[in-house]
Amino acid sequence: MLCSCDLWIGDAPCELGGSHASDMLKTMNDSTHDVLRQALNLPPTARAVLATELVASLEHSTVDDPVEVKQEWAGEISRRLQDVLEGRVETVPFEEAIARAREAVAEVRRSS
């Protein structure tokens, strides 16, 4: 289901549906909306870096040493990979993960 928010994520239209656009975008001025559009069109890795920085700014934390952050992420990636290789976690196909996430969002909206 396509959303009415007119946002594009990469080369695909938003598929969140519902009223998130009317709720979220009402509080955004034109320049903020433009920044969001530009951010959503970034490659996934760039969006992840941007999201990390934005969340950090909300948590009042600062990243003083990018090398340290990179090392911490490398450690986390290694731990997660080892969990997969040793069978401690169950992997799911991307499509199933997205379907689960969408269902979880829909459930939250239904219960709101």
pLDDT confidence of residue 36: 84
Residues 57 and 14 in one domain: yes
CA–CA gap between residue 23 and residue 27 (Å, rounded): 8
pLDDT confidence of residue 1: 41
Last residue of a domain, one of 62, 85, 103: 62
Residues 39 and 83 in one domain: no
Domain hosting 41: range is 1-62
Residues 45 and 27 in one domain: yes
Residues 55 and 4 in one domain: yes
The whole-model pTM stands at: 0.36
Residues 49 and 81 in one domain: no
10-residue mean pLDDT profile of the chain (112 residues): values are 50 53 58 84 89 80 73 92 93 92 87 73
Count of the separate structural domains present in the chain: 2
pLDDT confidence of residue 6: 53
Residues 1 and 48 in one domain: yes
Per-residue CA distances from 60 to 19, 34, 111 (Å): 29, 25, 31
pLDDT confidence of residue 52: 87
